[in-house]
Amino acid sequence: MAFLADSLARIKPSATIAVTDRARELKAAGRDIIGLGAGEPDFDTPEHIKEAAIRAIREGKTKYTAIDGIPELKAAIAAKFRRENHIDYKPEEISVGTGGKQVLFNALMATLNPGDEVIIPAPYWVSYPEIVALAGATPVPLKTTIASGFKILPDALDKAITPKTKWLILNSPSNPSGAAYTRAEIGGLTDVLMKHGHVWVLTDDMYEHLVYDGFVFTTPVEVEPALKSRTLTLNGVSKAYAMTGWRIGYGAGPAMLIKAMAKLQSQSTTNPSSISQWAAVEALNGPQDFIPKNAEIFKKRRDLVVSMLNQAKGLSCPRPEGAFYVFPSCAGTIGKTTTGGVKIATDEDFVTALLEEEGVAVVQGSAFGLAPHFRISYATSTELLEEACSRIQRFCAGLR
Ligand SMILES: Cc1ncc(COP(=O)(O)O)c(C=O)c1O
């Protein structure tokens, strides 16, 4: 009898973490490595948020709390949804977890049975198909193209839906492509969803505040309020507030689902850190002015990276609407040989050779379900981005 669970054999470890680990190893061995693999802002958590956490510790707010969030945080989240998304959620329709990832995990685990299908537009965030598979259900990737701006079209969605479809996972702006859907584009998808009453929508709005050039963020329930009774709107403080390590994410949806998620959480982690919850209250209720300032910095970096990558031989990089990622195609490098003598047959070969020969860590597109591409996180300093892109240009120029 095998000791390890069968369910473990169905999933892969996170590829984004794997590349970060390899880059760390090379760095420890003394190599000059630029890591563009990590999915977190390089900014520090704002002072007023840190102070709120310190205050919480001093005031003894250091005990177990309500499983899925303190009332003060649920109130701050409800106010955020009203203020920014024009949606009303009651406290019993809100769930707070240890990061957006736990909220996602709870929602899928609480609803999926073997045989259920989950439609996941590709390229996708690596965790979606793995959590679906862990739950014993079937991920159904729906591939997009550069030509469609890495967005699914209504027709393709309509065709992908079967009687077994339980969820559609939407992620806008997207990790890894940075693509964000306009209100009209979301409308095209919600029209299709209105025809299929059995399909639930999990919209991952984690990168909501990171949109550029005046792009207006929209979430499905805002466009089609009738979908509210079968939508989980996922968000969190990790990206917009530079709070990845604090581990606070939240979801809002029908009370029946929220209750099921709390039941699951009550038998796993219990409440998210009480101190982090108080910090998140301050993040959501406190000053928001640093968010557009950070977004302006990200926009400049995006423009720099897109322009430099498009000057690299064999690469083609669209200019995404949001997040802090670009997802260039490396199709023009396939079949070539590097100056180090490595033949590039796949995007994985491309990123491995780039790391070994030029010390730049990126993640292969195949990890996100779309090849041959790679993902660059531009959440790092302009100087490092310039140096990394110069190295990528040199690497590509050396291909024969
Ligand atoms: C698309 C997307 N959703 C959710 C998350 C999870 O965020 P958290 O750190 O809050 O768990 C991430 C983190 O990388 C992400 O990229």
* Mean pLDDT of all residues in 383-389: 97
- With tokens 């300032």, the residue in question is 293
* Mean pLDDT of all residues in 150-179: 98
- The answer to whether the CB of 238 is under 6 A from ligand 1 is yes
- Measured CA to CA, the distance from residue 239 to residue 45 in angstroms comes to 10
- Cα(323) to centroid of ligand 1, in Å? 11
- Cα(155) to centroid of ligand 1, in Å? 28
Q: What is the pLDDT of residues 239-262, one digit of tens each?
A: 999 999 999 999 999 999 999 999
- Cα(282) to centroid of ligand 1, in Å? 20
pLDDT band, residue 311 (cuts 50/70/90): very high
Nearest CA to ligand 1 atom 13: 39
Q: What is the pLDDT of residues 182-212, one digit of tens each?
A: 999 999 999 999 999 999 999 999 999 999 9
- The answer to whether the CB of 249 is under 6 A from ligand 1 is yes
Burial of 8 (0-12, 13-18, 19+ CB in 10 A): exposed
What proportion of the chain, given as a percentage, has pLDDT over 70?
100
pLDDT over 90 at 161, yes or no: yes
H helical segments located in the chain: 6-9, 15-28, 47-58, 71-80, 100-111, 127-134, 154-160, 183-195, 220-223, 255-266, 274-285, 290-310, 347-358, 382-397
Cα 370 from chain centre? 15
Q: What is the pLDDT of residues 319-365, one digit of tens each?
A: 999 999 999 999 999 999 999 999 999 999 999 999 999 999 999 99
- The answer to whether the CB of 244 is under 6 A from ligand 1 is yes
* Mean pLDDT of all residues in 29-55: 94
Would you give the DSSP letter of residue 251?
E
* Mean pLDDT of all residues in 141-169: 97
10 Å Cβ neighbour count for 48? Answer: 13
Return the pLDDT at 12.
80
- Cα(206) to centroid of ligand 1, in Å? 6
CA distances from 138 to 113, 130, 161, 252, 370 (A): 9, 10, 13, 24, 18
Return the pLDDT at 108.
98
Return the pLDDT at 186.
98
- The answer to whether the CB of 253 is under 6 A from ligand 1 is no
Return the pLDDT at 23.
86
pLDDT over 80 at 17, yes or no: no
Q: Following DSSP, what letter does each residue of 189-221 receive, concatenated?
A: HHHHHHH-TT-EEEEE-TTTT-B-TTPPP--HH
- Measured CA to CA, the distance from residue 96 to residue 303 in angstroms comes to 35
* Mean pLDDT of all residues in 80-92: 98
- Cα(143) to centroid of ligand 1, in Å? 21
* Mean pLDDT of all residues in 305-314: 98
pLDDT over 90 at 38, yes or no: no
Return the pLDDT at 9.
86
Nearest CA to ligand 1 atom 14: 39
- The answer to whether the CB of 391 is under 6 A from ligand 1 is no
Shortest-distance atom of ligand 1 to CA 237: 10
Return the pLDDT at 21.
81
- Measured CA to CA, the distance from residue 30 to residue 150 in angstroms comes to 38
Return the pLDDT at 181.
98
Are 189 and 181 within 8 A, CB to CB? yes
pLDDT band, residue 40 (cuts 50/70/90): confident
As a 3-state breakdown, the chain gives helix, strand, coil percent values, each rounded to 5, of 45, 15, 40
Nearest CA to ligand 1 atom 7: 100
- Cα(101) to centroid of ligand 1, in Å? 6
Strands 325-326 and 374-377, sheet pairing: antiparallel
The per-residue pLDDT of the chain, averaged, comes to 96
Are 186 and 220 within 8 A, CB to CB? yes
Return the pLDDT at 37.
86
- The answer to whether the CB of 125 is under 6 A from ligand 1 is yes
Return the pLDDT at 178.
98
Strands 231-236 and 360-361, sheet pairing: unpaired
Are 157 and 192 within 8 A, CB to CB? yes
- Measured CA to CA, the distance from residue 385 to residue 304 in angstroms comes to 8
- The answer to whether the CB of 99 is under 6 A from ligand 1 is yes
pLDDT over 80 at 15, yes or no: no
- The answer to whether the CB of 171 is under 6 A from ligand 1 is yes
Cα dihedral sign, 254-260-264-265? positive
pLDDT band, residue 370 (cuts 50/70/90): very high
Burial of 202 (0-12, 13-18, 19+ CB in 10 A): buried
- Measured CA to CA, the distance from residue 391 to residue 357 in angstroms comes to 9
Find the length of the chain. 400
- The answer to whether the CB of 37 is under 6 A from ligand 1 is no
- Cα(100) to centroid of ligand 1, in Å? 6
